[in-house]
Every structure is written in C-alpha cells, then in structure tokens.
Structure 1
Amino acid sequence: MAYATVTQKLRQTCRNFLGDTRGNMTMIMGLASIPVIAAAGMAIDYARISRVHDEIQLIADGATLAAASAKNLSGTSDEKKSQRVDIATNYLTNGLNQLTDAEVVGTPVVTSTSSKVSVSVNATVKGSLINVLDALKKESADFGDGSGGDQDGSGSGGRTYDMTINSEASWNAGVNYLCMLVLNKEDAQSLHVKGTADITSHGCSIWDNSSSNTGLYQNGDATITAKQICVNGNYAGTNFYPVAPQHGDVNCPQLPDPLKDKFLADYEATWSSSDTPVYNGYNSTNKKYSQLTFDASGEHTIYPGRYRGGIKVMNNRTVNMEPGIYFIENGNFTIMAGGVVNATGGVTIVLTDLAAKTTKTDSSATRIDVQAGGNLNIKAPAEGEFAGLAIAQHPNSIPNDSSKSSANSIIGGGTVEMVGIVYYPKQILYITGNGWISQNAELFAIVANKVFVEGNGQLNIGQAADFDAAGLPALPSTGSGEAFVSLR
C-alpha cells in the first residue's frame, strides 16, 4: 500500500508540473537560443576564416611577386634561384608575424625554378561562439554521453579550422630561346624537311638565316612544329605548325653565330698539337689515317684526349666515354648497327683537323656518322670549357663539298639521345631513314650551317628550353629581356 501511495504522489506531482504554464516562455526561449547561438557562431567563424585566408593569401602573393620581379640578382642559375627563395621567405616571415587570429603550422614551403616562384602556407584558425556547442558537448561527455575532440567539434581544444594557401608567380623574361639556328645566309633549302620526316620544337624557336626565297623548304607529308618559325628570306611548303613562318629582315634578321667566340677561346685553351694523342692512327708511309676500331665483344671504356684518325664502334659493341673533352682529328666518329656509345657524365666531342687552329681546311674527312641502329647517348658538361656543348665541329674543319655524303649524319634507325647543343658552324646535320634525335632530353639545340631531315627521320627538340632541368647553361636567345610577371 505504501508503494502505491508513493506512486500516486509522483504521478500527481508530474501532472502538476506539466499543467503549470508559469515560465514556459523562458524555457522555450532558452531552448531556442541554442541553435541561434550556434548559427551566429558559425557566421562569425566563417567571416573570421575568410578574412584570415584573404590576409594570408595577400601575404603569399606579395612574397611570390616580390621574388619573381626581383632585380639585380647575380651569380649562377642556382644562386639566383636561392636569392629568390630568400626574398620570398623574408617577405612571408614579416607578414605572417603580424597575424593575430591564425597560427602558422610548420614552416612555409618556398621553391623557385628558372621561371616561377611558389609558396605554400599551412595555418589554423580557432573557432569562437561555435565552441559554445563544443563546451556543451564536453559537458555532456562528462556525464558519459560523448567523447571529446577538435576539428570535428570534440576535444578540449575547441573547434579549429585548417587551411592551406598557395601562390605562384611566373615570369617570361622576354627571351626567345633558339633550339635551332641555321647559320647559312644565302643557300636555298638550307633548312629542309622532306618525305614523312618531322621536326618538332614545342618549347622554343627555329630560326633560318638564309636570304633565299626557298631558304626554308618543306614538301610531302613532312612537318615542322615550333613555338616560332622564322626565315630571313622566304619559305616553300605548307605543313608548318601552329602558324606559318615569319620572314623578312624586319621580323627575322640574320643572327650572328652565338657560340663562335666562346668555342674558339675554349679550343685555344684545351687543344695543343704537343699533347700526346690517346690514339694515333696516322700512317707515315701512306700518309693516311685509320680509325680506332672496337670490334671485340664486351664493353670498352675510353678516356678524354686526342684521337687521330677517329673512332669506329662495330656491330653490337658498347663504348663508354669517361667525362671530358674528346678531340676527333682527321677521321670519322662512326657508330655501326647495334653499336652503343654512352657519354652521359659530361662529355664534349670536338670534330677537328690538325690544322684547324690556324688554317681553314676544305677537305676535312671528320664527321659523326650514326648508322643503321647505332645509338649515341651523350650529355654535355655543365661548366668549364665547352660547357653546354655535346658535339661541336671546328669552323675551319670543312668538308670538301656541301652534299649530304659528307654531312654529319644519323641514318637508317640510328638513335641519338642528347642533352646539350650540337654546333656545326660550317657543316651539315643530316637525318634520314628513321633516324631519331632526342626524344626525351630536357635540353637539346642545334646551331648548324645547314640542317636536312628526310625520309621518315625524326628531329625532336620540343623541351629544349628547360636548361634548369638539364643542369646546363641557357640556350642562345633573342628578345628584349624585359620581364613579364604573372600571378597564378
């Protein structure tokens, strides 16, 4: 009976409570205020987050623009990149130190290449009124109904918002890099592409000095693709991409040889007739030269120096060239079918004659000849004499005619992967019969008297301007040098 009495009293008390309307509005308003406070907190937090993001973005953009537009940089390419990084870092440090509503997480990342500066900043912003809900959640957790946390609204630290701000400023220095310069000033077809051959140069320009009305010549299904194509005289053909070549003295003046002076100075400093040849193929009886021939199986290693009579790598033989300068005198450098030459440690091959230093020779037999399936892998030295030059021929070492038979040639499936510049100031580069040059090189350029690409030969110089990636000096160029800076 006592139990029934207690139960009846409890029920009556609940009925009285539920029937009492005094203070209802206060309770309803109290309950309703929770989502109102939450909404207000979210709005305030969003405004703060947006403001802080914009402030950091402004600082990051200022840092990249300051570095990208910096003047009076000095030193090597790497040193200039380091100076730009320092400029951006100092700007960031000064700006971020003045932030009041955000905390920078870690160290901002600043990088620089030869054409852009990039910044990445991680930061966190702590919530405000919205954390009232987090406090209520934590209070509920204290009674065993919840767990705690941070960004998801749990934990003792309150709600925080993480953000990553990126900025990138790039510049075009107003420089037009030349990945092909044909030096001949008057002959017809000094640069020609025929058959189904292709010359591809997406990242830089092709320039032909010839004043002939057909100085630049294309026929058949052959194509030339370049950022810019320029010929001093005029051109014949239609398959030029993305636009037709420019021509004439105003748009395409004849350019001087940009490598001659340095080449001759480096040659003077490094070649001497008194140096003992590594190989001497001269026969004093018949007064003829013979090549150093590699016909034994296995791999062979050769070293820098003078090779009188030239070098010949036979079928399925491999020759590894140690870093340095190789003078190929009075003879060819020939790579036969299946032959492989590796010279990727910083090598320059100089084609020359004994008399080249003092006398012009119109009967030179010195040339590079990569035949049916032969392969040459070469990378030029990054510094010192002949920096950036992979293969060069002395301007006084001239073949006895201007025909393809005496040209430096890649024929019938031969492949050359070259990082560096080919310099044939008085000679011809001839590619035909499915010969390939530089499909994957970061930097490749040609400065030659003439360039012939025929058959289904492929000359790929599409990434020639990326000298930073190659770790080599910049290519020859034209342009004003005025910088145009853009923000992304």
Structure 2
Amino acid sequence: MNRRFPFDIARQEFGRASRGNVAVIFALAALPLLVGVGVAIDYAKSANVRTHLQSTLDAAVLAGARESSPSAQIAKAQSFFDAQRPEQFSAKTSASFSVADHVLNGTAQAEVPTSIMAMFGRETLDVSAKAAAASSSGGKVCILLVDQSRSQTLLANSGAKLIAPDCEIHVRTNVSPGAIINAGVNLDVKRTCVKASTVINNGGSVGNLEKSCDAISDPYAGKMPSVSIPGASCKSENYNPDVSTVVLPAGNYCNVNFSNQTSVTLNPGMYGGMNFNQARTVKLNPGLYIVKGGNWNVNSGMTFTGTGVTIYYADNSIIQFNGNVNVQLSAPTSGSYDDILFYEAPGLSQSNWVINGTSSSTLRGLIYLPSKAVTINSVSNVSADKATMVFASLILNNTNWTITPGNKAMASSSGGAVRLLY
C-alpha cells in the first residue's frame, strides 16, 4: 500500500499551484509585447502610406512642372495627385500646390487609421510629404510671337542687340522663313525657338537657335481680366503754354492737347486722342487707363512715368512714343491687374505698333498685345526689368535692350525635362 506523507501531498499541491501562477505571469508579461507588436504594425502601416504619399506627390509636381503657366502647373499637379492619391489602409489624404520663383511646390498630408493604438485612444497617425520641381533647363519665355500665318514673324536687323541670358524667344509661325537674323545682330538669349522649318541667319549672333521647335502656345489667351468700358460721353480740353501744370481728375477724356507744360498728371480713366507736345513730364497715377477712340502721341524729349499702372487698349488705338522719350512704367503688384502693364481687348484685328527712339527707359510687367505687329526703332539703354511680352510679330531695328524674366514669364516647352528639387 502506498502511503503519502503530508510533505508529499504539500509538494504536489504546490506544483499544481505554481503551474497556474506561471501561466498568469506569462500572460501578463506577454501583454506589453503584444501591444508593442501592434504599435509597430500601426507605425509600419503609416510608414507605408507615407512612402506612397511621397512618391505620388513627387510624380504630381513633375507632371505639373511641364505646364506653361503657374495656374496650369498647379491645376495639373492637383488633378494628377487626386487621380493617383494613395488609398492604402483607407488613409485620408490631401495636397496643395503653389508656384514661387518658377518652382512648383507641393505639400501633402494623410491621416492613417490605427488598429491596436486605437484601443488606447490614438485613432490616427498623421504623415506628411513635401516636394518641389522645376524645368531642368530653367528656361523662361520672355518674348512670345503668336502670329502663325505669315513668315518673318521675328526680324532682327543690323544693330539690334538684346541681352537676356535667362530668357527664351518663341516664334509660333509655321510659315518659312519663320525668322530672319541679319548681320550685326546680337541676340544674347538662352534659346530661340522657331516653329517653322526654315530660319535665315545672315551672320547674326543668336543664342541656341532651333528650327521646327515646339514653341509654346499662348498661356494667357482668354484668361486676361475683363474691363468695363465707360459710356461715349467725353471731355475735350486744350492747354496753352501759359498753363505750366495740369492735373486731370479721373474721368473720360478725348481730343486733349498739351503744349509745353512743365508737368501733366493723369488719373485713371478712359482717354482717346491725347497729344503731348513738349510737355516735360507726364505722370500716370496708379490705376487702370483705357485707351480708346484715338492714339496718344508722346513726342520728343519727354519723361513718361507711372507706377502701379495698367494700360488697356480697348480698340486699335495705341500710345505712340516718338523721338527721345524716357519711359518709366511699372505694373501693379497686387489686385486684379497684378503684374499687367499693357494688354488689349480680345479679338482685335491685327495692327501695327511702332516704338521710336525711347532711351534710358524701364518697363516692368506683362505686355500682352497679341494683335500687335511691333516694330522697335532706335531704342537704346532700355531695361525691361522683369518683363514678359506677347506680340503678333516683332521687328528689331538698332535696339539695345536688357531683359530679365518677369513674374508672368512663361514656362518653356524645353521644360519637358524637369527635375525634383527635393
């Protein structure tokens, strides 16, 4: 007969009890490990979403940077991101884009729902990404010629000098020769892109001339601000030499003649048939000036100034600069006409604009006159500081210009090769 002593019974009972305690202790010890594994899974999931978010944002800014204008770049990048946004793990994503200094910037955010961490009050993890892209060439179009129906849309004659090493000239005509560059010409530009298959270069110096080139389309067509034109009633005035200073209040004027005034000050309004004869200084106060119903004739020896001004050609009337005129004009820096210096009503028939003999002048802003066949004669020491020009065609005769890309400079088609900045 087996006999168990009390010591044996106690040892067996202790063994059974200790096995139960070990199980409890193991379960308690494993809980933090399981939580840690769950947290690691949540963070791995958010890291995966961030990887997809970054790659999608990178692709979006690269797609957008190929477009020709800031608004088109932003729209393209946004639509690309919205179509390709990562939906892994039901992450809620969003992105925004902006353009500064010709660089397309993008930021994106995502809220990633958690699993284990949600049981401890952390229902989402936030991740973000940043990206920026720009044309690898850095080229910006400062002069765009949009007439596609005739040859010689760009004609540079002997003595024409244009210093614009950061700018491109684009010529959209399909008719050969699309451009003629004559001997004695120096077009120091980043690139000259002519859509026509033939260009005649008679010994002139021209930067990176390309034929059969993908010249950009007009990025501003149909996108310029509309202007409300005042009624037909207008005031006519004649100022004699005995009146030295004239200040015209804002209004609607036509057939106004100035003779030998010391200074003339204009305020925003509509003006037609303005003649400035030997007036020493003409100043335009900030605002919108509508030219309609007759040319402005600004004659020799004058200083013509305006800061924060926009000049709108409502019909084929123009401001004609004649002789040695010092022109100092800059566009507004905010508002509806931000960086717009000259522009015209849509649908105007093609007409000529001849600029004669301005000197020591500065033009700043967008000059958008796609109906104008522009001829520039004997222009010396002109700094088109941060200027962008859109004309039908352009003839340069004995000019000396320096141009830097304006705020509304157009993205070059050479920007098909783009790069990520970060």
Report the TM-score, using the length of structure 1 for normalisation.
Answer: 0.52
Partners of 1:387 and 1:70 lie apart in 2 by 30
Q: Quote the offset at 1:410 in angstroms.
A: 1.8
Residue by residue over 1:418-474, the C-alpha shift from the partner in whole angstroms, topping out at 9 and shown as x without a partner, is 001211111112111x214742x43012100011111x222332x124x3xxxxx55
Partners of 1:316 and 1:306 lie apart in 2 by 20
Q: Quote the offset at 1:352 in angstroms.
A: 1.9
Q: Quote the offset at 1:326 in angstroms.
A: 0.3
Q: In the alignment, what sits opposite 2:368? A: 423
Q: In the alignment, what sits opposite 1:457? A: 399
Letter in 2 for 1:412: G
Q: Quote the offset at 1:337 in angstroms.
A: 0.5
- The answer to whether the 8 Å contact 1:301/1:322 transfers is yes
Letter in 2 for 1:306: M
Unmatched runs of 5 consecutive residues or more in structure 1: 1-68, 78-112, 117-169, 282-288, 354-363, 468-472
Partners of 1:329 and 1:431 lie apart in 2 by 22
What SS is found at the alignment partner of 1:397? coil
- The answer to whether the 8 Å contact 1:436/1:458 transfers is yes
The CA RMSD measured in Å over matched residues stands at 3.4
Partners of 2:319 and 2:345 lie apart in 1 by 13
Partners of 2:258 and 2:59 lie apart in 1 by 53
Q: In the alignment, what sits opposite 1:193? A: 156
Cα separation, partners in 2 of 1:201 and 1:294, compared to 1, 3 Å: same
What SS is found at the alignment partner of 1:200? strand
Q: How many residues align?
A: 286
Residue by residue over 1:317-340, the C-alpha shift from the partner in whole angstroms, topping out at 9 and shown as x without a partner, is 211111111001021122110111
Tell me which of 314, 325, 332 is aligned to 1:352.
Answer: 314
Partners of 2:417 and 2:277 lie apart in 1 by 47
Q: Quote the offset at 1:205 in angstroms.
A: 0.6
Q: In the alignment, what sits opposite 1:318? A: 281
Residue by residue over 1:286-335, the C-alpha shift from the partner in whole angstroms, topping out at 9 and shown as x without a partner, is xxx9632222422221111111x232222242111111110010211221
Letter in 2 for 1:435: V
Is residue 421 of structure 2 the alignment partner of residue 485 of structure 1?
Answer: yes
Q: Quote the offset at 1:70 in angstroms.
A: 13
Residue by residue over 1:59-89, the C-alpha shift from the partner in whole angstroms, topping out at 9 and shown as x without a partner, is xxxxxxxxxx9998xxx99xxxxxxxxxxxx
Q: Quote the offset at 1:389 in angstroms.
A: 1.7
Partners of 1:311 and 1:476 lie apart in 2 by 37
Q: In the alignment, what sits opposite 1:55? A: none
Q: In the alignment, what sits opposite 1:177? A: 140
Q: In the alignment, what sits opposite 1:305? A: 269
Superposition pairs of residues 264-343 of structure 1, within 5 angstroms? 266-267=225-226, 270-274=227-231, 279=235, 291-307=255-271, 309-343=272-306
Residue by residue over 1:164-187, the C-alpha shift from the partner in whole angstroms, topping out at 9 and shown as x without a partner, is xxxxxx974446311000001131
Q: In the alignment, what sits opposite 1:114? A: 101
Tell me which of 367, 390, 398 is aligned to 1:447.
Answer: 390
- The answer to whether the 8 Å contact 2:254/2:293 transfers is no
Letter in 1 for 2:173: S
Partners of 2:59 and 2:261 lie apart in 1 by 56
Q: Quote the offset at 1:228 in angstroms.
A: 0.9
Cα separation, partners in 2 of 1:481 and 1:334, compared to 1, 3 Å: farther
Letter in 2 for 1:178: V
- The answer to whether the 8 Å contact 1:180/1:445 transfers is yes
Query: Identity of counterpart residues, as a percentage?
Result: 21
Of the two, which has the highest radius of gyration?
A: 1
Unmatched runs of 5 consecutive residues or more in structure 2: 1-57, 62-69, 72-99, 104-131, 238-252
Tell me which of 386, 393, 399 is aligned to 2:337.
Answer: 386
Superposition pairs of residues 372-411 of structure 1, within 5 angstroms? 372-398=323-349, 407-411=352-356
